Amino acid sequence: MRLHQALLAIPVLAALVTGGAATAAAAPAQGAESVAAPARVAPAECGAGTAIKFGEVKSLSHNTVIGWTYLLRSGYEYWACVEFRSNLAEGYWGMARLHMIDDGLHIGTLHCDFPTGNGHVTAGDNTCYTSRSYAPFAHRTFIAEGDWYRGLSTLVGRGTTGPSTR
């Protein structure tokens, strides 16, 4: 376990151990082959952690990118965050969800309106994050989801980080 934690402290090795990508702060040495880094860095409003995976949130009617959803990690804590390209207009709102999967079975979902989340995205804002899930065991994986709504519950945009990962 100590070796695993020590490896996670080194961004490039953390990417190999977790199956994710190295953080953007980890620049390859001159002349070294570059390691794939996330194409996007999660905004500071998502909290202090490393974005280990991200996905586009797209409008369902036009298939255009309206934002991004992130799966973040700090130690053994995981959470989701959604970021929209711009502040939402009146009548629209957004939500990030963290789907928890144990051995292929969906066991629950956390979202921004849970007590330790920061509340769903409202008009004039563009970001929210979920409560965190503590997961020191390898059989739990996660999917981050970002949704965009009009009115009370009309889904108008969605995106995920894809297959569950750790």
CATH code: domain of residue 92: 2.60.40
**135 pLDDT above the threshold of 70:** yes
- Comparing 8-22, 125-139, 148-162, which segment has the lowest mean pLDDT? 8-22
- Residue 59 in any domain: the answer is yes
- Residue 91 in any domain: the answer is yes
- Residue 4 in any domain: the answer is no
Handedness of CA 57, 112, 110, 36 (dihedral sign): positive
- Residue 57 in any domain: the answer is yes
28 CA to centre of own chain: 24
pLDDT score of 16: 27
13 CA to centre of own chain: 20
- Residue 22 in any domain: the answer is no
Count how many domains the chain has.
1
For 70, the domain range is 38-160
85 CB neighbour count, 10 Å cutoff: 12
Percentages (nearest 5) of helix, strand, coil residues in the chain:
10, 45, 45
- The predicted model gives 129-141 an average pLDDT of 92
